């Protein structure tokens, strides 16, 4: 089968990479070996995925320790995501809904400070999570820890929704659009921005309606781009949770038509995001400066996801349009 052609996405942001990327690669490789997250052929795939470059494009001004913690969590989340995505060869961890729920309960125990009862086949993932969670908590205040733990739980609860769909009827486009921003690393990496980039923004700023809408649009933009870039991979794995696939089915489109429709949704959300970027709410001078940094990191998330997918990783196979 020839690679899928993806039209060029509208993305007017300047690319950049954190200068600690090389050092973080060395750190995370050692961390992955220590916890046995990837061995044998899985190790080679992990190296080809090149997640450090993604994290370094997201957080371009973070210090070494914070960037390393962020990258470790990204690697761990992608490893679990791969377990969930492969509908044809399911890991023993998630072959049954009850086992997936038990795994999520163990994750929740770690992020709430309790000692989980760990199933042997879940040990590497949970031990790695406990390690990186402790390091993240050293950077983030208790209020952020509680909110971030809720985000991780929400992501996994949405994974149960996805698990149920895989065994029955796939969601409608409307249902998928509502849930998609919680499925994938962007939901978590955006939630880490203020801690990894050390941007002290109070809750009332982050919860401002315009800021919340920007965050939602940023997640969706990344998700629609990812649905395009990962389409071939997900087709191979039998995973129908992809906007292109759902558009084909629900609207009776060809694959090329559904790809163009997904691209249009991406670009439409991008234009909304750009308009909001010019209408940031105003607070005091120091807060406004921090908010501009936060908005700039959202920009780099969008740009970094495209550049990593197109240039840096072998995780996906596609032809990027002219």
Confidence bin at 89 (pLDDT 50/70/90) = very low
Strands 318-320 and 4-6, by their bridges, are parallel
Residue 207 above 70 pLDDT?
Answer: yes
8 or 124: which leads in pLDDT: 8
Cα–Cα distances (Å) from 173 to 177, 242, 258, in that order, read 6, 9, 12
Q: Are 295 and 214 in contact (CB under 8 A)?
A: yes
Nearest to 59 by CA among 303, 316, 270: 303
Angle at which helices 255-277 and 209-229 cross, to 10°: 150
Quickly tell me which residue has 């600690």 as its tokens: 20
The C-alpha atoms of residue 39 and residue 101 are separated, in whole angstroms, by: 26
pLDDT recorded at residue 122: 57
CATH topology assigned to domain 5-320: Farnesyl Diphosphate Synthase (1.10.600)
Q: What is the pLDDT of residues 91-118, one digit of tens each?
A: 555 556 777 788 888 888 899 876 655 5
pLDDT recorded at residue 43: 94
* Predicted TM-score (pTM) of this structure: 0.93
Residue 38 above 80 pLDDT?
Answer: yes
Mean pLDDT of 149-177: 83
Q: What is the pLDDT of residues 45-65, one digit of tens each?
A: 999 999 999 999 999 999 999
């Amino acid at each position: 089968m020839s690679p899928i052609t993806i039209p060029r996405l509208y993305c007017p942001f300047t690319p950049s990479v954190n200068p600690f990327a090389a050092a973080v690669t060395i750190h995370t490789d050692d961390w992955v070996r220590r916890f046995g997250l990837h061995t044998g052929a899985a190790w080679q795939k992990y190296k080809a995925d090149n997640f450090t470059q993604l994290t370094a494009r997201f957080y371009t001004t973070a210090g070494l320790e914070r960037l390393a913690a962020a990258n470790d969590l990204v690697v761990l989340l992608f490893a679990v995501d791969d377990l969930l995505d492969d509908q044809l060869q399911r890991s023993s961890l998630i072959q049954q809904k009850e086992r997936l729920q038990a795994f999520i309960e163990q994750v929740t125990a770690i992020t709430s400070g309790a000692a989980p009862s760990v199933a042997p086949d879940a040990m590497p993932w949970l031990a790695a999570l406990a390690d990186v969670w402790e390091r993240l908590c050293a950077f983030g205040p208790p209020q952020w820890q509680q909110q971030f733990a809720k985000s991780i739980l929400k992501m996994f609860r949405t994974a149960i929704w996805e698990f149920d769909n895989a065994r029955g009827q796939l969601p409608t486009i409307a249902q998928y659009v509502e849930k998609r921003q919680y499925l994938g690393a962007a939901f978590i990496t955006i939630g880490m921005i203020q801690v990894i980039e050390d941007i002290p923004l109070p809750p009332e700023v982050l919860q401002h309606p315009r800021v919340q809408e920007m965050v939602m649009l940023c997640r969706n933009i990344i998700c629609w781009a990812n649905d395009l870039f990962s389409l071939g991979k997900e087709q191979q794995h039998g995973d129908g949770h992809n906007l292109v696939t759902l558009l084909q089915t629900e609207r009776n489109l060809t694959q090329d038509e559904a790809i163009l429709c997904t691209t249009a949704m991406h670009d439409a959300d991008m234009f909304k995001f750009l308009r909001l970027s010019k209408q940031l709410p105003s607070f005091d001078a120091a807060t406004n400066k921090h908010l501009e940094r936060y908005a700039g990191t959202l920009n780099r998330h969008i740009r970094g996801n495209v550049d990593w997918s197109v240039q840096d990783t072998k995780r996906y196979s596609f032809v990027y349009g002219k």
